[in-house]
């Protein structure tokens, strides 16, 4: 039987290679974790991280974006600003965004404090959650929060369209009545 949905959202996970995007998604969809690292794009990124430009085509239709960094990797956190700039240049401005600090169970290897994550999120006016795909910490919460915000956003837009529609109908009636 075909799958039916109450809501269907297109979400993107963006961030440096190795921060755990695939694992976060895998934890959410399968409730499982795998330690073998196979980079999604397939490039050898060992040792040197590069910021990749993502084009407009990739963002098309995206309703939500999870910006992911690794709390044990300072560089991945610094690059969030580049990713956000890329989103601002290529994605629709009303796309719902959220910041994830992944691998939060690795407290002894932490390079980015929770406060800095919170601060950056405040700066961009987005929500922030620290997650662990490995230890299964707050991954569901992250997806549900983003989905809930997208839903609220969509409903707000519908109400606006409805109000404009009713206003125009009334205007039409008044104008016709005056003639």
Ligand X SMILES: Nc1nc2c(ncn2[C@@H]2O[C@H](COP(=O)(O)OP(=O)(O)OP(=O)(O)O)[C@@H](O)[C@H]2O)c(=O)[nH]1
Residues in contact with ligand X by the rule CB under 6 A: 17-23, 35, 37, 39-41, 102-103, 105-106, 132-134
40 binds Mg ion (CB under 5 A): yes
Q: Binders of Mg ion: how many residues, by CB under 5 A? A: 3
In the complex, the smallest distance separating the C-beta of residue 15 from ligand X, rounded to whole angstroms, is 6
* Between 97 and 103, CB nearer to ligand X: 103
Residue (of 29, 141, 18, 28) closest to 69 by Cα position? 18
* Between 22 and 136, CB nearer to Mg ion: 22
Contact 163, 170 (CB under 8 A): no
In the complex, the smallest distance separating the C-beta of residue 151 from ligand X, rounded to whole angstroms, is 26
H or E element that contains 107 = none
97 interface partner picked from Mg ion, ligand X, none, CB below 5 to 8 A per type: none
Distance CA 124, CA 132 (A): 23
In the complex, the smallest distance separating the C-beta of residue 94 from ligand X, rounded to whole angstroms, is 25
34 binds Mg ion (CB under 5 A): no
* Between 22 and 45, CB nearer to Mg ion: 22
Q: 């008044």: which residue's tokens?
A: 174
Partners of 96 in beta bridges:
64
Q: Per DSSP, which regions of 2-106 are E strands?
A: 11-14, 64-70, 96-102
22 binds Mg ion (CB under 5 A): yes
End-to-end CA distance of the chain: 57
């Amino acid at each position: 039987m075909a799958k039916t949905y109450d809501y269907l959202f297109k979400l993107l996970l963006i961030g440096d290679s190795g921060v755990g995007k695939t694992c976060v998604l895998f934890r959410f969809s399968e409730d499982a974790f795998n330690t073998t690292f196979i980079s999604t794009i397939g490039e050898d990124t060992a040792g040197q991280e590069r910021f990749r430009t993502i084009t407009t085509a990739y963002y098309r239709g995206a309703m939500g974006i999870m910006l992911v960094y690794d709390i044990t990797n300072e560089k991945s956190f610094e690059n969030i600003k580049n990713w956000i700039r890329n989103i601002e240049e290529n994605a629709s401005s009303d796309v719902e965004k959220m910041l994830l600090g992944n691998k939060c169970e690795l407290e002894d290897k932490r390079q980015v404090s929770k406060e800095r994550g919170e601060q950056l999120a405040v700066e961009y006016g987005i929500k922030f959650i620290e997650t662990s795909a490995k230890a299964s910490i707050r991954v569901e919460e992250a997806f549900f929060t983003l989905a809930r915000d997208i839903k609220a956003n969509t409903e707000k837009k519908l109400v606006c369209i409805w109000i404009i529609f009713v206003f125009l109908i009334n205007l039409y009636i008044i104008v016709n009545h005056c003639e």
